[in-house]
Amino acid sequence: MTDINSVVSEVSNLKQRLDQAQLSYRDASLKSRREIVILKRLITRLVIACRGINSELDERLESIRHELEQPTDISKLIPRLAVIERLVNQQADIVHKQNLRLNQKIHQAGETLSRHRDLPVQLRRDLRAVLNHDSGALLDNHRRILRLLELYERTIKLGSATKATHAADVVEKSTYHLELVAELQHLITEIDFNGEHGNQLIEIKSQLNNELDTQQLTKIQFQVLRLILDATLYERQASQSFLNNINSDLAELHKDSHQTADKSYTLHQHRSELDNELSHVTQQLKVSLSDNTNLEDKRPTLHAAANEIDSIVERNIALQERERALIEQQQHNEKQIQQLIQQTHSYRQRLHDQEQSMLRDSLTLAYNRNAFMDRIQHEYHNWKRYEYALPVALIDVDSFGEINSKFGHLAGDKALKIIAKNIQQCLSDTDYLARFSSDEFMLIMPDCDEQTRNKKLTNIREAISQLPFRFKDQNLSISVSIGATLFEGNDDHHVVIERTVKALASAKSAGTNRLIWIS
């Protein structure tokens, strides 16, 4: 029985040791598999990183990577890994030496390039930045070489492509020339000066329709600038003169009014004195006539009273003349006041017209960009306060550049006028239309529900697409693309404008005569 117990005990111990051995073997197996995975990953990365550096190294790494894909004993690969380690060390020494030489060549090439004549200042700065950035890393030096090659290419283009550059410059200058002429014409149209300066600007605008060389155009630019400065100075002097005249006239009127008031008071006093004297004489006559004495005895008294009455009448006539002169002076003052009122009203109306011309686009009569920016900021604050729907749309004329290039700028201006007028006819009184750029219009539709705003924008597209345009005996149909959005969440007016631009870009990329809403 004891022997059986001892045997059972020994078997139990053996079983425990066997279980422990199995666990150890399983752990070792898992560890081995993990190591194989890590080794496989390392070899794969080495193959990718070292590819193209050394052909023998490439072959050996690829061979080991392939064998790791198959069940194999890692210990058999150790000698081959040692060979790869030796090759890698050798290659590292070679790379280090090549990197030193490469760094030296970069400095030599950079110094050579820096001695190039007429090298632009910005290019010199870029070259200096490349040379000052020493690095022991091969990748950094490769980047420096690429940068150095770019600088070489720029230098060669500056020095050797003179004829081609000149031809390109001629084309570019020609395009710039036309754009400048158009901008000057638009500027002269925007300016609202009267008199000689305005007439001269109109003459210059007509000259811009002729073919002008660069020198003539430059001269015209200075003429326009000088006329604007002179006209501004003239307007300022005219305003100052107007104010001085108004002040002088008001001072004169104040003086005359004060004198008239003094004269009126004096006349009133004299009139009171005459009335008192006349009353006194009348009373005396009544007393004399009431007596029963002979009138012959009263003759001297009556004669004296008559003389006194005559004197009073003469003095009264003189007072009437002074009153008439005073009335004429008052009438003259009143006319002056009316003239001042008229002058002030005319000047105020002119200022109002100038203010409107500053807010309105002179071609389309829609509001201009500056006015739009003020209005949308105002609407933004109202939207923040009252939280009503606030849609904004950007309307762009499709292929407008082709109209200008094919039929001329006058045809383009005519088209813009008609388009702006038709857009305005599709809007309500509370809507706000502004010319945002050459062929773009911004539209604000405050407190407009979804159905109404969609209907308005659809009506705009349909109305313009149905307009009959005719240029140079050619019938032409014009359409517009519209990008629209709403104020939402934490939007401000800048964000909304950017979103309308994106919406318009999406609409134009989809074709012509499109409407796209984005949020």
Instruction: Answer for the pair 479, 398: CB distance below 8 angstroms, yes or no.
Output: yes
Distance CA 305, CA 413 (A): 91
**pLDDT, greater one: 219 or 263:** 219
Min mean pLDDT across 83-97, 156-170, 399-413 is at 156-170
Determine the residue type at 122. Answer: Q
> pLDDT digits over 238-271, tens only?
666 666 666 666 667 667 766 777 777 777 777 7
CB 189 within 8 A of CB 205: yes
Average pLDDT over residues 10-32: 62
User: Could you give the CA distance from residue 499 to residue 483 in angstroms, rounded to a whole number?
Assistant: 8
Gap between the Cα atoms of 356 and 373, Å rounded: 15
Cβ-Cβ contacts under 8 Å for 155 (sequence gap 6 or more): 113, 116, 119, 123
The torsion angles phi and psi of 517, rounded to 5 degrees, stand at: -100, 135
Using the CB atoms, write b or e for 341-380: b if 16+ within 10 Å: eeeeeeeeeeeeeeeeeeebbebbebbbeebbbebbeebb
Q: What angle do CA 325, 327, 329 make, to 5 degrees?
A: 70
Q: Give the count of alpha carbons within 13 A of 319, CB side only.
A: 18
pLDDT at 175 over 90: no
Cα torsion 53, 54, 59, 64: sign: negative
Beta carbons within 8 Å of 263's beta carbon, 6+ residues apart = 322, 326
Neighbours of 214 (CB within 10 A): 12
Return d(Cα 201, Cα 187) in angstroms, integer. 10
CB 463 within 8 A of CB 426: yes
**Higher-confidence residue: 325 or 501?**
501
Q: Which of 100-114, 264-278, 432-446 has the highest mean pLDDT?
A: 432-446
411-436 per-position pLDDT tens digit: 888 899 999 999 999 999 999 999 99
From the list 357, 433, 431, 452, the residue with the least C-alpha distance to 395 is: 433
H helix or E strand, kind and range, residue 290 = helix 214-290
Phi, psi of 486, deg, nearest 5: -125, 150
> Is residue 506 over pLDDT 90?
yes
Sheet holding 515-517, edge to edge: 432-437, 440-444, 391-397, 480-486, 515-517
- Do 409 and 350 touch, CB atoms closer than 8 A? no
338 pLDDT above the threshold of 70: yes
Paired with 475 in beta bridges are 470
CA distance 241 to 255: 21
**Bridge partner residues of 367 (DSSP):** 360, 434
For 84-88, 224-228, 424-428, which range has the lowest pLDDT when averaged over its residues? 84-88
What is the rounded CA–CA span in Å between residue 353 and residue 449? 35
Residue 239: other Cβ atoms inside 10 A: 13
The more confident residue out of 144 and 436 is 436
Residue 416: other Cβ atoms inside 10 A = 21
**Residue 335 half-sphere exposure, CB side, CA atoms within 13 Å?**
6
Q: What's residue 63's pLDDT?
A: 73
Instruction: Answer whether residue 1 shows pLDDT above 50.
Output: no
Strand segments, DSSP code E, in 284-330 are none
| Confidence (pLDDT) at 438 | 82
- Poorest-pLDDT segment among 11-20, 302-311, 430-439, 446-455: 11-20
Nearest to 448 by CA among 505, 519, 391, 363: 391
pLDDT of residue 211: 75
Please tell me the pTM assigned to this model: 0.42
Contact yes or no for 285/302 (Cβ under 8 A):
yes
11-25, 357-371, 381-395: least confidently modelled range: 11-25
| 8 Å CB contact between 373 and 268 | no
What is the structure's pLDDT at 355?
63
Tell me how far apart the alpha carbons of residues 461 and 480 are, in angstroms, rounded to a whole number. Answer: 6
User: What does the mean pLDDT of the chain come to?
Assistant: 75
Residue 77 in tokens: 């690969």
Does the structure show a pLDDT above 60 at 318? yes
Cα angle for residues 255, 256, 262 (degrees, 5° grid): 95
Residue 283 has pLDDT above 50, yes or no: yes
For tokens 């006093």, what's the residue? 269
pLDDT at 216 over 90: no
Identify which has the larger pLDDT, 457 or 118: 457
Highest mean pLDDT range out of 133-137, 215-219, 402-406? 402-406
Identify whether the C-beta of residue 503 lies closer than 8 Å to the C-beta of residue 481. no
Report the top-level CATH class of 369-517: alpha beta
**In the chain, pLDDT over 70 holds for what percent of residues?**
57
Model pLDDT, residue 472: 76
Residues 400-409 have a mean pLDDT of 84
SS3 state at 284: helix
What residue ranges do the domains of the chain occupy? 2-72, 96-160, 369-517
- The answer to whether the CB of 50 falls within 8 A of the CB of 57 is yes
Q: Who has greater pLDDT, 274 or 77?
A: 274
Q: Average pLDDT in the 88-109 region?
A: 69
Instruction: Using the predicted structure, report yes or no on whether residue 444 has a pLDDT greater than 60.
Output: yes
Three state DSSP letters for 328-379 = HHHHHHHHHHHHHHHHHHHHHHHHHHHHHHHHECCCCCCECHHHHHHHHHHH
Q: Answer with the residue of higher pLDDT: 402 or 262.
A: 402
The answer to whether 435 and 422 are in contact (CB under 8 A) is: no
